[in-house]
């Protein structure tokens, strides 16, 4: 193999691919990126057997060939070279020689035959989806997915299509986030469950693209293709919990506060929270007081009053503040509404005048 290309392009592509490579996996080939040079194109492949990526970049191919080298090493070298515009990749006695005008490196290579194939989905009916909408939806709920794999469906993000919207949802059984994204005239699909770890990668890889992406789907895999980038991820087989039924419909107490006020106050009160991260809300409509209390036997205690519009019944309820804080990154509005139906049922957080996002948090046991 012998190719010459623009350093920036190569660095961009390797940077996207390299992060996907498997870390600490018994099979060293999975730490590698596979470089395939053929017909003035360089195809870069990487996978951790959960998600796979393929990126093509135009290069000048002097001699075609296939090589597998450590993705981390290649990326760190290329991305840190400054000053030179072009870079040459060349096979020298079984290893990869990467050279620029001023420096060169020899990187140990692995047998390319051992590199896994990236699955291709054969499906006649792909559909396109706006990348920014997709990313907005995924990001909106990502924080609520479960990091534990005890219940696989909870470590996934669920995508459901309904009429003109796609509903993104994630839950770890203590809180739940739902984001609706308006997508006009998309092809309807059944529920898709994308492992949230893969969703993180998908967001990272596609984030700087503004266009539409083409989606292919089958029972086991989903793939996203955009020009020269192809990503495929495993989808979970299973059923996301039917969460609609647990959203409380009756509202007994409603509090509307400025988002920034609420965040600031929570930050203050968390200084004094106990090991369970407990914060207590005391809501008194008669006295028009929304009070946030934290108490820690070893540190001290703290009481904050927030200006708020309060409706409904008096209530005292405690939460783990970590679960509450997560949702603010998904709310754009300046003021938020907190609604409660009961001290043992979930609190609903929404942006005022924003119907697209819904967040449920379970209270703590008294």
Local structure of 52: helix, strand or coil:
strand
Cβ atoms of 29 and 54 within 8 Å: the answer is: no
State which residue, 4 or 342, has the beta carbon closest to other proteins. 342
| DSSP classification of residue 112 | G
Output the CA torsion sign for 309, 312, 315, 321: negative
**Strand locations in 163-308 (E):** 165-171, 175-182, 192-195, 212-217, 221-226, 229-234, 253-258, 278-284, 289-296, 300-306
From the CB of 171, what's the least distance to other proteins, in Å?
A: 7
Closer to other proteins at the Cβ: 49 or 62? 49
Instruction: Report in angstroms the alpha-carbon separations of 29 from 21, 49, 67.
Output: 9, 11, 11
Place of tokens 């409509």: 285
CB of 345 to other proteins, least distance (A): 9
Binding site residues, other proteins, CB under 8 A: 25-28, 30, 47, 49-50, 52, 114, 116-117, 119, 147-153, 171, 173-176, 190-191, 219-221, 232, 234, 236-239, 241-243, 246, 276, 278, 319-320, 323, 344, 346, 360, 362-365
Nearer CB in complex with other proteins: 189/272: 189
Looking up tokens 């920014």 gives 132
What H or E segment, with its residue span, contains residue 344? none
Other CB atoms closer than 10 Å to residue 297's CB: what's the count? 8
**Residue placing its CB nearer to other proteins in the complex, 95 or 191:** 191
Q: How far is CA 188 from CA 63, 203, 234, in A?
A: 46, 22, 20
The pairing of beta strand 289-296 with beta strand 300-306: antiparallel
**For residues 84 and 237, which CB has a smaller minimum distance to other proteins in the complex?**
237
Number of residues that make up the chain: 366
Choose between 5 and 167: whose C-beta lies nearer to other proteins.
Answer: 167
321 in Cβ contact with 292 (< 8 Å): no
User: By C-beta, is 19 or 175 nearer to other proteins?
Assistant: 175
């Amino acid at each position: 193999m012998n190719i010459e290309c623009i350093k920036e392009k190569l660095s961009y592509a390797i940077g996207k691919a390299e992060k996907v490579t498997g870390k600490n996996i018994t099979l060293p080939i999975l730490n590698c990126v596979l470089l395939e040079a053929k017909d003035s194109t360089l195809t870069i492949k990487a996978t951790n057997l959960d998600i796979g990526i393929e990126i093509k970049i135009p290069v000048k191919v002097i001699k075609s060939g296939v090589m597998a080298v450590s993705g981390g090493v290649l990326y760190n070298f290329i991305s840190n070279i400054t000053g030179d515009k072009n870079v040459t990749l060349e096979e020298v006695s079984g290893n990869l020689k990467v050279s620029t005008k001023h420096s060169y490196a020899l990187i140990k290579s692995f047998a390319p035959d051992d590199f896994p194939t990236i699955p291709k989905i054969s499906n006649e009916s792909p559909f396109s989806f706006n990348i920014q909408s997709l990313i907005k939806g995924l990001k909106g709920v990502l924080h609520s997915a479960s990091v534990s794999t005890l219940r696989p469906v909870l470590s996934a993000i669920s995508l459901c299509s309904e009429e003109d919207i796609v509903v993104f949802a994630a839950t770890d059984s203590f809180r739940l986030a739902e984001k609706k994204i308006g997508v006009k005239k998309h092809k309807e699909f059944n529920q898709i469950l994308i492992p949230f770890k893969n969703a993180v990668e998908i967001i990272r890889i596609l984030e700087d693209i503004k266009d539409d992406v083409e989606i292919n789907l089958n029972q086991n895999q989903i793939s996203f293709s955009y020009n020269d980038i192809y990503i495929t991820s495993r989808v979970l087989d299973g059923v996301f919990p039917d969460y609609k039924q647990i959203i409380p419909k009756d509202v007994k107490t409603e509090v509307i506060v400025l988002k920034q006020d609420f965040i600031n106050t929570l930050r203050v009160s968390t200084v004094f929270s106990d090991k369970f991260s407990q914060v207590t809300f005391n809501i008194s409509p008669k006295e028009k007081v929304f009070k946030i209390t934290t108490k820690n036997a070893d540190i001290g205690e703290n009481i904050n009053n927030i200006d708020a519009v309060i409706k409904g019944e008096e209530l005292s309820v405690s939460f783990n503040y970590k679960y509450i804080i997560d949702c603010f990154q998904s709310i754009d509005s300046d003021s938020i509404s907190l609604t409660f139906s009961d001290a043992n049922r979930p609190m609903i957080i929404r942006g005022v005048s924003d119907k697209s996002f819904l967040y449920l948090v379970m209270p703590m046991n008294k």
